[in-house]
Amino acid sequence: MASSRLERVEESATMKAANVANKMRQEGIDIISFTLGEPDFDTPKHICDAAADAMYRGETHYAPGAGVPALRSAIAEKLCTENKLDASASDIIVTPGAKQAIFEIMMSVLDDNDEAVLFDPAWVSYDPAIKFAGANTTWVPTDPENGFKPIDLEEYINERTKLIVVNSPGNPTGAVYDKKTLQNIADIAIDNDILVLSDEIYEKIIYDQKHQSIGSFEGMQDRTITVNGFSKAYAMTGWRLGYVHARSDIIKGMLKIQSHSVSSATSFVQYGGIAALEGPQEPVTEMVDRFKARRDLLVDGLNALDIKCQKPGGAFYAFADVSAYGDGNVVTEKLLKDAHVAVTPGSAFGESGKDFIRISYATSLERIQEGLERIKAALA
């Protein structure tokens, strides 16, 4: 009795891996889980206080569909100042998480048999969202030896190409695209009249580089849909708060979907978002510093085990080549069974990931070190 569109979509591989690990934990097994993309830090206190204050003063009713005006204004200010976008509050829609934003975008801009470009490997939920919209995914290969940058993108563009998805810093690879790479994507989008969805949810979790928003490039203002949120940078995953900046017709379409589905983001949560943007940013800096130390420990440890892994430029994932020990699916199963270490097989993110595993280092240095020791013993 299921809808035919559901047959086109697989369940989330990252959620599946996390659920298996949680089930084993409930059975009393000590699992070291490197699966979910969630900071292990608490939301900063000033953000929690702002949301609680809003709740207790009565901000518990329906919010405007596009978001609380004060939050939309704060987001616009942030985008103008930090991302160099020509943003105004009217060009912003606040959503219950960036994932919901991406779903609404796909449903708003894609028609049946349109094509959307993903760079392989790509986050697990882009492809299902494209398929739910009735469109098709065009997978463009990337070069793991060169920062997972797309290879020969222009060769995959045709008259049905409607959208290119850019995720930098990226999941699962942690890749950060430099200006030259982004400019090439922008030039192709302009020359072929294609929209770009720029998912910038990891923009603040970046190491020794500077984030660049493709929407700030010449000619890209009206064809870029910028997605961001609060989950990663402010450790607010459970708050479900994201946002989109785009031209007015796209925002209008998204608002139509939002008003008939989730209505709006939670009212008092949005006041926490205002505090996140306008309050002290030191907690973000401290969190990124700790992620960097974890990254270095993990990547150096993996390479010492003959698991080839480049240091990611951002996010909190290592995308490791385990081909010396088998393909990613085989190694994932072995690590869970023999080492009680949970990772995500790279094949979940695209065909090119078959020899890889994704390891989230959103856990303590102690657990990372223990995980490395368990992996070494299992693969010896």
**What is the DSSP secondary structure assignment for residue 339, as one 8-state letter?**
I
User: In terms of Cα–Cα distance, which of 100, 111, 38 is closest to 258?
Assistant: 100
CA–CA separation, 175 vs 118, rounded Å?
A: 14
Distance of CA 141 to CAs 64, 86, 120, 229, 350, Å? 41, 32, 5, 27, 10
Half-sphere exposure of 41 (CA within 13 A, CB side): 21
CA–CA separation, 317 vs 344, rounded Å?
A: 11
pLDDT tens profile 250-308: 999 999 999 999 999 999 999 999 999 999 999 999 999 999 999 999 999 999 999 99
Q: State what percent of residues in the chain have pLDDT above 70.
A: 99
pLDDT class of 14 with cuts at 50, 70, 90: low
pLDDT tens profile 297-355: 999 999 999 999 999 999 999 999 999 999 999 999 999 999 999 999 999 999 999 99
Residue reference for tokens 């009217």: 90
According to the model, what pLDDT value does residue 29 have? Answer: 86
Half-sphere exposure of 268 (CA within 13 A, CB side): 14
Residue reference for tokens 């993990």: 298
- Residue 26 in this model has a pLDDT that exceeds 90: no
Kindly write down the DSSP assignment for every residue of 156-199, as one continuous string.
G--TTEEEEEEESS-TTT-----HHHHHHHHHHHHHTT-EEEEE
Residue reference for tokens 């994201």: 242
Q: Are the C-beta atoms of residues 120 and 127 closer than 8 Å to each other?
A: no
- Residue 365 in this model has a pLDDT that exceeds 80: yes
According to the model, what pLDDT value does residue 328 have? Answer: 95
pLDDT tens profile 228-240: 999 999 999 999 9
Q: Can you tell me the mean pLDDT for 207-231?
A: 97
pLDDT class of 21 with cuts at 50, 70, 90: confident
According to the model, what pLDDT value does residue 1 have? Answer: 64
pLDDT class of 148 with cuts at 50, 70, 90: very high
Percent of residues in the chain assigned helix, strand, coil, to nearest 5 = 45, 15, 40
Which residues, other chains included, contact 133 with Cβ-Cβ below 8 Å and sequence gap of 6+?
106, 107, 110, 111, 114
According to the model, what pLDDT value does residue 19 have? Answer: 79
pLDDT tens profile 105-123: 999 999 999 999 999 999 9
Q: Is this structure's pTM higher than 0.85?
A: yes
Please, which residues bridge with residue 195 across strands? 163
Q: State what percent of residues in the chain have pLDDT above 90.
A: 91
pLDDT class of 9 with cuts at 50, 70, 90: confident
CA–CA separation, 62 vs 380, rounded Å?
A: 57
- Residue 3 in this model has a pLDDT that exceeds 70: yes
According to the model, what pLDDT value does residue 334 have? Answer: 95
Q: Report residue 299: phi and psi, to 5°.
A: -65, -40
Domains annotated for the chain, with CATH where assigned, are 4-43+282-379 (3.90.1150.10), 61-278 (3.40.640.10)
Reduced to 3 states, what is the DSSP secondary structure of residue 49?
A: helix
Q: Which residue has the higher pLDDT, 21 or 362?
A: 362
pLDDT tens profile 56-96: 999 999 999 999 999 999 999 999 999 999 999 999 999 99
CA–CA separation, 188 vs 150, rounded Å?
A: 12
Reduced to 3 states, what is the DSSP secondary structure of residue 131?
A: helix
Task: State both tokens at 338.
Answer: 């023999």
According to the model, what pLDDT value does residue 126 have? Answer: 97
According to the model, what pLDDT value does residue 324 have? Answer: 94
According to the model, what pLDDT value does residue 13 have? Answer: 66
Question: Which amino acid is it at 128?
Answer: P
Q: Are the C-beta atoms of residues 185 and 51 closer than 8 Å to each other?
A: no
